[in-house]
Structure 1
Amino acid sequence: MAADQSAGWANLPDKVVHEIYRRIPCEVDRHHAGRVCLSWRVALAKLKPPVPPAPLPWLLLPEADGEHRPTFSCVLRGWRSTHPFFLPIGARRARYFGSYNGVWLFLAVDVLQGDGKAEDHLLINLHSFQFVDLPNAMRVPIYQADQGLQNIAIVAAALSRPPTERGCVVAGIIELAHSPPARRVAFWRMGDRVVPRHPWAEWPPEEVEDLLYTTGAFIFLTKKEDIRVCREPAIHKDFVQLQLNLQSLVLFRPRGRDGQMVLGRYLVHSRRDVLLVVRLAAPLPYDQAAVEFRVFESKKYVQGKYTRMWNALSGLDGRILFVGRGCSRSYEEADGYPGMEGVYFLDDHSSRRPIVHGPRHACRCSDNGKWSEASLRIDRCFPERAWSKCSPPVWIIP
């Protein structure tokens, strides 16, 4: 019976195979469909089906409890379905801290396996397994005539261009091994193993929540929801020359508060504009799960020292927003994703705790999902995963 059914699938008309393939939204499932049998491969090669829309990001869930291997979930496959995910053994217990287009993953390998004080930072391509070294230390002044190195942990990063392209500059939010730990902004060239000395060790003076690169400049979001702009810096062998001017700080009129706890703030480039996405929790201190998201656009506002304001969007208007520190992306329903409008988020709460002091913290990996403006509710549609000892989840951007 099984043999008869198999033969029937292999003998489907070419047009039927084409229609089946066209209705498979997930890129991985389409790849598997093309390998069902020789007749399907021949049919798909002959019919040359139309190119599907670019895939949406995948949610990579890290290894948990030594039992669950890394897996990824495709939004288009039905939310809770997962695919097995292969990583080199040395990277399975790595800390993920972002991604870049083309399935590039930022990760920090715990060299001492649990100590949390010595990490090897890498950027790895999950298709080719090509990797690029990232800095593990920063050059800091100790004496007037000498300089020393200090270990760092990279919290988030943004690139000026693809990592294999000549002249790629990286901006990162880094944590220095101070007590208490201090977070700073740093710049380096792709492939550098040491962050060069910065002329302003504490620029910007405010705590930075998120960063992105757009139109020739790096943009940083401060905890006060102001914007710091830094044109792509000149990086020399031993120091960084920042290109700052009086317009580098954009002050926004403070938004009113409504009593809810802010869990995160993200910058997203969408439709030639930069949006602010705010992640909110209930005011109770023991409840750290997201309950609502709000999306704002930048509007001109001139009053006193303020030149801009964050204006709440009345609706997402077909936007599909994936938010994560340094790796937020915007897509459009009109590009082949009907019914997908919303804000998709991952559980990055643990990334806000200190990294370089003591053993790694356990990372909760369950507060992942979608917030819909239409329903005004959170849908935790992704698979649940036990706490991870190494990393929060991360988006993989095809």
Structure 2
Amino acid sequence: MTTGSDLLGRYAHSMVQVFGTPQLVLASGHGCWVTDVDGKRYLDLLSGIAVNALGHGHPALVQAVAKQAEAAIHVSNFFTSEPAVLLAERLLTLAAAPEGSGVFFANSGTEATEAAIKLSRRTGRTTMIALEGSFHGRSTGALALTHKAAYREPFEPLIPEVVFVAPDDADALRAAVDDTTAAVFIEPIQGEAGVREVSADYLRLARELTSRHGALLVLDEIQTGVGRTGSWFAHQPSGVVPDAMTLAKGLGGGVPIGALVTFGPEVTGLLTAGQHGTTFGGNPLACAAGLAVLDTIERDGLLEHVSRVGALLDDVEVEGVSATRGRGLLRAIELSGIPAPAVMVAARDAGFIVNAVTPTALRLAPPLILSEAELQGFLSALPTIIDTVREATA
């Protein structure tokens, strides 16, 4: 029998080591639970970093993918398919996009960002504004909009004329946006920065400034979209309508897909025939998966479910937890005096998968189907997990 240890050794000799040593070798999943190759089960509170929106092995997604695989998996961009058209229409409806809006399908979040960058260049301007703490992807274009120096510096020089401003600093944003600005890129909740939400007032200010100066407002909903926060898209409660929105992660429920959504004919018309493309983007298999995810969220009332279950994380009264933040089922648990990476390992040993998103914070981004009982099981175990780390580091 091949063990996890065996496979990790083979991994080290066969894979490019950009991820270091994986934590586990997972074999299967069902609902919110995964099982490794050694037979141990874990409650998955990360869902592939906000990807497995319906958990693992959800029958609606499995059936949709199997049915589409029998019909056609790929047709190339010389053609289209009914799933692609239906998914584009559905996204425009959920986004309340005006007539003349459009969707470009890609394969990932970083590719959706690349499409948004090219869209911004079609304004005739080159300056882009992003936020400190931002994460928009790892390709060289998206990386130029990603703030973390450790990600950027090994690959510089990147695309020039990117200006970073502090989140929720209204004066800094006012000073940065002018008639030379091509686009402002904002994550409504910065996941990689530690699940930090920008205020609705700040989003509204960004909308006001970009409209005044003829720049595009691009909202990155790659991690926050598709019901993750209890709304279809995290920006919607603010009332802001962007010029473009990027999606990925949860949209395919685990099948790779990304999307750029453009709002209104003037923005949609910026990219014309031949100016952008992708081989696999919009393939019928991925689009059928996306439709199954959206159908299930709507049919099963998962937006309300996400808000209800997520409310259990509003106030976590556990010694060693100083605060919680986030919305819906995208949350951070801030720790006081206890290293988050050590707590992540202890949680894994106890059968819970979480992410040490910063040195002091755990990120939770579980499947949208997570039950109150499952989340309560983790919260009940958290004091013991923290005590284990406290004793080991004393």
Q: TM-score range by the shorter chain?
A: under 0.3
**Structure with larger Rg:** 1
Tell which has more relative contact order, 1 or 2 (C-alpha 8 A, sep 6+): 2
Higher percent of residues as helix: 2
TM-score of the superposition, structure 1-length normalised?
0.27
* TM-score of the two chains, using structure 2 as the length reference: 0.27
